[in-house]
Amino acid sequence: MSGQRSAQWYAGTDRNAYIHRAWMRRGLPANAFDGRPHIAIANSASDLTPCNSHLDELAQSVKQGVYAAGGIPLNLPVVSLGETQVRPTAMLWRNMAAMATEEMLRANPIDGVVLLGGCDKTIPALLMAAASVDLPAVVVPGGPMLTGTFRGVALGCGTDVWKLSEEVRAGTLSEEQFMRSESSMIRSRGHCNTMGTASTMALVTEALGMTLPGLAGTPAPDSRLLQGAHDAGRLAVELVAAERRPSGVLTRASFLNAIVALAAIGGSTNAVVHLLAVAGRLGVELTQDDFDRTGAEVPLLVDLQPAGRFLMDDLHRAGGLLAVLREVRDLLDPEALTVTGRPLVDYLDDAHIFDHEVIRVREQPLLPHAGIAVLHGNLAPSGAIIKPAAASPELLSHRGRAVVFDSIEDLHARIDDPDLDVDADSVLVLRGCGPRGYPGMPEVANLPLPAKLLRAGVRDMVRVCDGRMSGTAYGTVVLHVAPEAAAGGPLARVRTGDMIVLDVDARRLDVDVPPQEWEQRAPEPATVAAFAAPKRGWERLYVDTVRQADTGADLDFLIGASGDRVARESH
């Protein structure tokens, strides 16, 4: 097995090779060391990551595929992050999960890897790890759940949580009915069924070329997902033989294709920070402004919540991502490869739309221009983003008086105060929620509206924040403002009563304060007081080294790849 990376552990008759083989014989026969590629299954299954709890079943299908192709499958549990469970936010540990997975892939005697992810941060973390170590790799997305119903109406998990909870606050839905909807929200295994971050990252990963074409978006309970997992196991063995690595697939052309896909599907704003982080691990030139330049004019073709009506099992039934991409084929780079070794565009000829309500043709889009808009101005020198498809059109050009909250705790304490000086034209500003400030950049940018305005019928307002927004959320929300307040960004200087000017067409976000006064104004004391640097552990390392949202919020010492080489023996 001298040609395999794993031979560095297993080949030969010396004491170290003996140790490596002998200890592995508790599960492997002697012929496991005769030149067969050893394939890790990086498995993010966890009972505390509910959307990934079924991945052990997928891992069994991957194992069978690896065996069938002549390889040796090896389960490798990796850090798992449950978006709905971990506090303060799963984003705090995305980089840790990526770093831990990278190190385990590099440290172990493996030749390739199958990456099993589902919930929001798991696929980005696995992609970051695979990019850094650059072993042959393929992703198997865990798939969305089936659609549940409440009172005869389909529920979009996440999106309808926000909607129903706001109706309770508005007094139009009883708390008892809200509680009854809880048992209907999650119908089956799988991740969120809206076009949230999990669905977005699965589909974007396919557009990047890192999954078997046509697999992403297959519902978690669908038996075809098990077949796809088996096929991915077989492919992993082929990847090793062909020496086809992520660095050959994840090129700038692939990232631009992913941006086109992101716009066409109406994907989550979180894809911006994740794709920037993956590109940073490879040294691929990609900036936040590329999302605007490449995606802004792409039409929205998928009618899914939160920007539309349908849900992920409808998208799969209607033809899936490949049918969407066929409509924008002229915008895709024809040479960008997939893990199969063939270009992505090769898989579009046989893609068809089977439901033109769910997937629109290019000539009849939901919106003619639907990509992520990147804003600049004196409130966001390094940029901020907004998702026009999820916003109220009348608010995309807006001037309003700032109502400022210095932390999420401050927001919760005052947002429903009947004496809060706020009206429908106000701009809600929340700071202290960036990568350093929280820490971990939580999904709180879609601030709840004041209860008194909800009761008056208001359902959207302009909101500005240095944090993130759930991919299942909606509204006129400016987020990822950089630099963040805790890093000295100008958001720290905004005062209640300042006039905020949003002009999405002009790509501007400004505060209308005389320039000299603005430059001399110090950060608000309450903002400074709200940030307490952690004293130890991962949080301390994270805050000391995390970069800003406009570059992907990765740690500064993790930028770039290190390859798969391990120089020293363990004994």
Question: Rounded distance, CA 246 to CA 260, Å?
Answer: 20
| Two structure tokens written together for 361 | 């043709």
Mean pLDDT of the chain: 94
Instruction: Supply the pLDDT for residue 472.
Output: 74
Confidence band for 154, pLDDT divided at 50, 70 and 90? confident
Mean per-residue pLDDT for 55-81?
A: 98
Question: Rounded distance, CA 398 to CA 387, Å?
Answer: 15
- Cross-sheet strand order for the sheet of 112-117: 72-77, 38-43, 112-117, 137-141
Q: Is 189 left (phi over 0), alpha (psi -120 to 50) or beta?
A: beta
Are the C-beta atoms of 242 and 225 separated by less than 8 Å? no
At residue 277, the 3 state secondary structure works out as helix
Instruction: Supply the pLDDT for residue 308.
Output: 86
| Two structure tokens written together for 301 | 């073709």
Whether residue 298 is predicted with pLDDT greater than 90 in this model: the reply is yes
Confidence band for 571, pLDDT divided at 50, 70 and 90? confident
Whether residue 3 is predicted with pLDDT greater than 80 in this model: the reply is no
Instruction: Supply the pLDDT for residue 237.
Output: 98
Instruction: Supply the pLDDT for residue 20.
Output: 93
As beta bridge partners, residue 376 has 508
Dmax over Cα atoms in the chain, in whole Å? 80
Instruction: Supply the pLDDT for residue 181.
Output: 87
Tokens 């909606």 correspond to: 474
| Of the candidates 219, 164, 250, 189, the residue with the CA atom closest to the CA atom of residue 47 | 189
Instruction: Supply the pLDDT for residue 525.
Output: 77
| Of the candidates 238, 245, 189, 183, the residue with the CA atom closest to the CA atom of residue 218 | 189
Whether residue 1 is predicted with pLDDT greater than 70 in this model: the reply is no
* Lowest-confidence pick of 107-116, 157-166, 540-549: 157-166
Sign of CA dihedral 25, 28, 29, 35: negative
Mean per-residue pLDDT for 296-305?
A: 94
As beta bridge partners, residue 427 has 402, 462
Confidence band for 221, pLDDT divided at 50, 70 and 90? very high
Confidence band for 8, pLDDT divided at 50, 70 and 90? very high
For residue 338, what is the enclosing H or E element?
Answer: none
Confidence band for 233, pLDDT divided at 50, 70 and 90? very high
pLDDT digits (tens, 9 = 90+) for 337-383: 999 999 999 999 999 999 999 999 999 999 998 889 999 999 999 99
Task: Give the DSSP per-residue string, 80-123.
Answer: ---TTTSSS-THHHHHHHHHHHHHHHHHSS-SEEEEEE-STTHH
Confidence band for 183, pLDDT divided at 50, 70 and 90? confident
Whether residue 219 is predicted with pLDDT greater than 80 in this model: the reply is yes
pLDDT digits (tens, 9 = 90+) for 73-98: 999 999 999 998 999 999 999 999 99
Are the C-beta atoms of 118 and 190 separated by less than 8 Å? yes
Mean per-residue pLDDT for 438-451?
A: 93
Instruction: Supply the pLDDT for residue 27.
Output: 83
pTM to 2 decimal places: 0.95
Tokens 């010396």 correspond to: 14
Sign of CA dihedral 20, 22, 28, 31: positive
Mean per-residue pLDDT for 158-166?
A: 82
Confidence band for 334, pLDDT divided at 50, 70 and 90? very high
Tokens 């202290």 correspond to: 432
Instruction: Supply the pLDDT for residue 152.
Output: 84
Task: Give the DSSP per-residue string, 322-333.
Answer: HHHHHHTGGGS-
Question: Rounded distance, CA 257 to CA 212, Å?
Answer: 16
Question: Rounded distance, CA 189 to CA 184, Å?
Answer: 13
State percent of the chain over pLDDT 70. Answer: 99
Question: Rounded distance, CA 313 to CA 220, Å?
Answer: 10
For residue 473, what is the enclosing H or E element?
Answer: none
Question: Rounded distance, CA 162 to CA 173, Å?
Answer: 13
* Lowest-confidence pick of 124-138, 178-192, 279-293, 427-441: 178-192
Note the residue count of the chain. Answer: 571
pLDDT digits (tens, 9 = 90+) for 320-330: 999 999 999 99
Mean per-residue pLDDT for 389-411?
A: 95
Specify the amino acid at residue 62.
V
Mean per-residue pLDDT for 551-571?
A: 90
What residue ranges define each of the domains in the chain, with the CATH number in brackets?
Answer: 36-147+187-347 (no CATH), 149-185 (no CATH), 373-532 (3.50.30.80)
* Lowest-confidence pick of 105-119, 127-141, 246-260, 299-313: 299-313
| Two structure tokens written together for 531 | 């940030």
Instruction: Supply the pLDDT for residue 320.
Output: 98
Are the C-beta atoms of 157 and 312 separated by less than 8 Å? no
